[in-house]
Amino acid sequence: MSKFLLPLSFIMLLVIAYQSLQFQQNSFSKLHTQTLNQIGEKAKKLQFSFLSFISQKKGSAENLISENIQQVLTPDLTSLQIIYENEKPKTLWKANSPNLEETFKVTSDPMQINNETISLSFIYDKRSLLINVYKQQKLQKLLTVLLITIIFIFATFGLLTLQAKSTQKKNRILAEMKQLEFKNQLDLVKLEKSEKEMRLQVVEKEEQLQQADKLTSLGMIASGVAHEINNPNTYIHLNAETLQKAWVDMLKLIHGQVDDQTKIAGIPFKIMKERIPTLTKSITEGSERITKIISDLKEFASTQDSQDKKQESINIKTVIETSIRLTENFIHKATDHFHIINDENIYVIGSAQKLEQVIINLLINSSQSLTEKNQPIEISTKATNDHAIIMVQDEGCGIPDDAINNIFDPFFSTKKGSGGTGLGLSISFGIIKEMNGTIQAKKNEIKGTIFTITLPLTNKEDHS
């Protein structure tokens, strides 16, 4: 049934349009007198406006009307007359048209213009005037019919659209049911795959925990090795000081008794007596350096719990100097451009050993990220109003965009292929958080990575 609605609508439209456009000669008698009265009222308003306009100008009324007559001419106007007081009408303008069977005359109220009392008469072709009104009425009816027909057509399209949508909905429901069935099958496959992946993750976590245990054991071994090295180093240091003092006494004894060209260990005595003090001093300084490194290493390898570590006021400058000593060899193998901006004494509350652990981890990571020795590493410190800021930045290979937000997660590493455990940055994050601070990573504008540590400032005397 719906497929016949659209053709019927068009046929109906054509019939109504044809009937509406038909013009019948006897239709004039149906026009009401009120129509002519309305036309007369409009004409009188036009006459009054025109005469008011003319009255503001200088000159005879007849000349002024003739000069401005174009303002009042309309297609239905056949002639325009001026009527002076107590005189016959005088025609000022007349259209070129045959004799008219019927006219419609509108005369204005008298008005005084430049000491002349005049009236205007508009004479219209009554037939033409009524035809235009008749056509306007027919046009309005036609537009109404067109609007109704358009509404009918849209309603027909609406019904057809609803029917089509209903069919589409049924088809969509059937398709969704099939998709749901297929999805259930895929979910079963994914569930089996997920179970397999979980088993692999469990195995991976076990391996990571084993690696963590190895790191703990390595710390204990480092502590033991440091203790063993410390004993012979003590003998070296003491003996070097003894030799230094003995050489001063020996020079007094042999003064003037040994020729300058006499060779000691293949070197002339003249050169040797100047070199030996330098050699003994170098041994003493090297021994002192070993002692300091051993002390730092033993502190770094300490396994005491955080509750056992006394929270104290620590100097960031000292912490960074210690961290650099422990990693100096590693850094110089990676780069020829290592910059330190660490001149200010800045104090924070926490554990010096744990903060060293964080700095060492960041310096090692930066060193490992470099691909060429001309790429720089920089560590700097500064103090703001209430915070200390430590920055470690490099121009190495950087951190991938998809990994930058996960680098502080436990066991997450971009270096697993080269032995990374994914624990260093996670532990560092925990240490800084324990000190009421923050640690953040972002990409360097040039190349590489910038790590920023922010810690609350304190006075040197606090917690001492």
**What DSSP letter does each residue of 343-360 carry, written as one string?**
-S--EEEE-HHHHHHHHH
How far apart, in whole angstroms, are the C-alpha atoms of residue 323 and residue 366?
A: 14
Question: What pLDDT digit, counting tens, does each position of 66-95 carry?
Answer: 888 888 888 778 888 888 888 888 888 888
Cα torsion 374, 376, 377, 379: sign? positive
pLDDT of residue 30: 52
Q: What is the mean pLDDT of residues 340-359?
A: 90
Which two three-digit tokens encode residue 241? 């000081």
User: Does some domain include residue 384?
Assistant: yes
pTM of the shown model: 0.42
CB 76 within 8 A of CB 125: yes
How far apart, in whole angstroms, are the C-alpha atoms of residue 357 and residue 150?
A: 83
Question: What pLDDT digit, counting tens, does each position of 356-410 carry?
Answer: 989 998 999 899 888 899 999 999 999 988 999 999 999 888 887 777 777 787 7
Tell me which of 298 and 254 has the higher pLDDT: 254
User: Does some domain include residue 378?
Assistant: yes
Please check the confidence at residue 214 and state whether its pLDDT lies above 80: no
* pLDDT grade for 33, boundaries at 50, 70 and 90: low
pLDDT of residue 360: 92
Please state, as a whole number, how many other Cβ atoms lie within 10 Å of the Cβ of residue 317.
15
User: Does some domain include residue 312?
Assistant: yes
Please check the confidence at residue 268 and state whether its pLDDT lies above 50: yes
Number of domains observed in the structure of the chain: 1
Q: Which domain holds residue 376?
A: 304-456
Secondary structure (3-state) at 386: coil
User: Does some domain include residue 116?
Assistant: no
Render the burial of 44-61: b for 16+ CB within 10 Å, e for the rest.
bebbeebbeebeeeeeeb
pLDDT of residue 224: 62
pLDDT of residue 306: 43
pLDDT of residue 200: 82
Secondary structure (3-state) at 102: coil
Considering only 59-73, 403-417, 437-451, which range has the smallest mean pLDDT? Answer: 403-417
Q: What is the mean pLDDT of residues 288-300?
A: 67
pLDDT of residue 388: 93
Q: Could you tell me the maximum CA-CA distance found in the chain, to the nearest angstrom?
A: 167
Cα torsion 170, 175, 178, 179: sign? negative
Considering only 48-52, 237-241, 368-372, which range has the smallest mean pLDDT? Answer: 237-241
pLDDT of residue 23: 43
pLDDT of residue 451: 93
* pLDDT grade for 308, boundaries at 50, 70 and 90: very low
Please check the confidence at residue 297 and state whether its pLDDT lies above 70: no
User: Does some domain include residue 200?
Assistant: no
Q: Helices then strands (H, E): number in the chain?
A: 8, 14
User: Does some domain include residue 276?
Assistant: no
User: Does some domain include residue 79?
Assistant: no
CATH assignment of the domain containing 380 = 3.30.565.10
Secondary structure (3-state) at 423: coil
* Averaged pLDDT score across all residues of the chain: 78
Considering only 118-127, 402-411, 435-444, which range has the smallest mean pLDDT? Answer: 402-411
* pLDDT grade for 27, boundaries at 50, 70 and 90: very low
Q: What is the mean pLDDT of residues 350-358?
A: 90
CB 381 within 8 A of CB 390: yes
User: Does some domain include residue 254?
Assistant: no
Question: What pLDDT digit, counting tens, does each position of 135-178 carry?
Answer: 776 777 777 777 777 787 777 777 778 778 888 888 888 888 88
Tell me which of 292 and 420 has the higher pLDDT: 292
